[in-house]
């Protein structure tokens, strides 16, 4: 199976590439390296070039992948590309506010033209294509938890719209290519995910907290810290995505939420992190940003019933592994 992963050098993309290689796929990893990084896939490239080994190889735990099965292509999904693949995972898009608001117009283009280009490619080569969508399509939800049928509550002209509306239109395009051209599509709505290879300084709460904690700084809590998030560990998320891609049924084109249902407040997250790190952690309060969603939790009935999926990694365990990654990444071991 030849599989294309756009955004393959990103946080989620690199884990997906590893998983697909482990499953025996030939993987083409496309990335413009705006938020993705070669450090995330260097061990895969090294393996492909031959048994170089070294620290990077060992650090991922001796992943069993064939040397010629991985290829990195520096490419921006805003531009069309012609290649052969049976599966396409379209993950390319900056996903944290600090990155997607850096150049909002480019963010919209990445979502919309990226989806168009990958759908065009899928149509041409008869590939199955999965769009990485997001819980942000629900915006600041007025239904709780969020079912896939919920239409969402999004400000079309706010500072987050470039991401939220960009992803909504990516979904629209997926469905229209499906209805209009019978393209075989999958749509996954990804809720908050954390784990090794989150970018330092991407402004997301888990990486922020861990980096601040490792540096001995007080943790920045926005608002009163009682807003909740549901955090899914990356390997659980990847497993859900792969299950959705494999799922074949009359309803397989419908969006599926993948995320953790255990809601934690920011203050509970601080506390768990304190347990993992074995010390009490100080916090510092700041005002809540504009249009920041105050509550978000997936209804995962579809994932459970259709894919037999549910998250398995407890927060404390996932945090332990993530803290370990950041400790190494910041050179603190």
Nearer to its own copies, 8 or 255 (CB): 255
Q: Which stretch binds its own copies (CB under 8 A): 18-26, 27-35, 167-175, 216-224?
A: 167-175
**Interface with its own copies includes 172 (CB under 8 A)?**
yes
**Interface with its own copies includes 205 (CB under 8 A)?**
no
Burial readout 6-25 (b: 16 or more C-beta within 10 A, e: otherwise): bbbbbbbbbbbbbbbbeeeb
Nearer to its own copies, 120 or 274 (CB): 120
Cβ neighbors of 190 (< 8 A, separation 6 or more) are: 12, 132, 133, 134, 135, 237, 241, 258, 259
Q: Are 299 and 146 in contact (CB under 8 A)?
A: yes
Nearer to its own copies, 106 or 321 (CB): 106
Nearer to its own copies, 88 or 116 (CB): 116
Q: Establish whether 138 is a catalytic residue.
A: no
Q: Which of 100, 138, 163, 233 is catalytic?
A: 163
Beta carbon of residue 158, minimum distance to its own copies (angstroms, whole number): 8
Total residues in contact with its own copies, by rule CB under 8 A: 36
Beta carbon of residue 236, minimum distance to its own copies (angstroms, whole number): 25
Nearer to its own copies, 75 or 168 (CB): 168
Q: How far apart are CA 311 and CA 192, in angstroms?
A: 12
Q: Which of residues 92-151 bind its own copies (CB under 8 A)?
A: 103-105, 108-109, 112, 116, 119, 137, 139, 151
**Interface with its own copies includes 290 (CB under 8 A)?**
no
Name the strand (E) or helix (H) holding 242: helix 234-246
Asked if omega into 145 is within 30° of 0 (cis), the reply is yes
Three-state secondary structure readout of 273-333 = HHHHHCCCCCEEEECCCCCCCCCCCECCHHHHHHHCCCCCCCHHHHHHHHHHHHHHHCCCC
Beta carbon of residue 316, minimum distance to its own copies (angstroms, whole number): 35
Name the strand (E) or helix (H) holding 186: strand 184-190
CB atoms within 10 A of CB 120: 17
- Which residue numbers are catalytic? 163
Would you tell me which residues interact with its own copies (CB under 8 A)? Answer: 103-105, 108-109, 112, 116, 119, 137, 139, 151-157, 159, 161-162, 165-166, 168-169, 171-177, 179-181, 187, 255
């Amino acid at each position: 199976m030849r599989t294309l992963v756009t955004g393959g050098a990103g946080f989620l993309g690199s884990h997906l590439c590893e998983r697909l290689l482990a499953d025996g796929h030939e993987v083409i990893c496309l990335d413009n390296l705006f938020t993705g990084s070669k450090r995330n896939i260097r061990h895969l490239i090294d393996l492909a070039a031959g048994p170089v080994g070294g620290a990077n190889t060992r650090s991922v735990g001796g992943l069993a992948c064939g040397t010629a099965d991985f290829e990195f292509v520096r490419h921006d999904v805003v531009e069309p590309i012609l290649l052969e693949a049976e599966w396409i995972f379209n993950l390319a898009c900056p996903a944290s506010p600090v990155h997607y608001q850096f150049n909002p117009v480019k963010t919209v283009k990445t979502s919309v033209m990226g989806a168009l280009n990958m759908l065009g490619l899928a149509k041409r080569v008869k590939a199955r294509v999965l769009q990485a969508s997001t819980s942000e399509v629900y915006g600041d939800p007025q239904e709780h938890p969020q079912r896939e049928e919920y239409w969402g509550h999004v400000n079309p002209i706010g500072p987050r719209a470039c991401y939220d509306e960009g992803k909504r239109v990516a979904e629209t395009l997926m469905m229209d290519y499906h209805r209009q051209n019978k393209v075989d599509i999958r749509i996954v709505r990804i809720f908050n995910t954390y784990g090794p290879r989150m970018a330092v300084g991407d402004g997301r709460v888990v990486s922020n907290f861990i980096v601040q904690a490792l540096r001995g700084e007080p943790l920045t809590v926005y608002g009163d810290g009682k807003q909740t998030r549901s955090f899914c560990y990356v390997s659980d998320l990847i497993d859900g995505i792969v299950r959705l891609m494999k799922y074949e049924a009359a309803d397989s084109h419908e969006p599926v939420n993948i995320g953790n249902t255990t809601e934690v407040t920011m203050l509970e997250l601080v506390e768990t992190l304190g347990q993992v790190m074995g010390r009490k952690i100080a916090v510092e309060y700041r005002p809540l940003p504009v249009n920041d969603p105050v509550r978000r939790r997936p209804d995962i009935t579809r994932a459970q019933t259709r894919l037999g999926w549910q998250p398995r990694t407890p927060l404390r365990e996932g945090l332990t592994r993530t803290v370990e990654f950041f400790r190494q990444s910041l050179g603190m071991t």
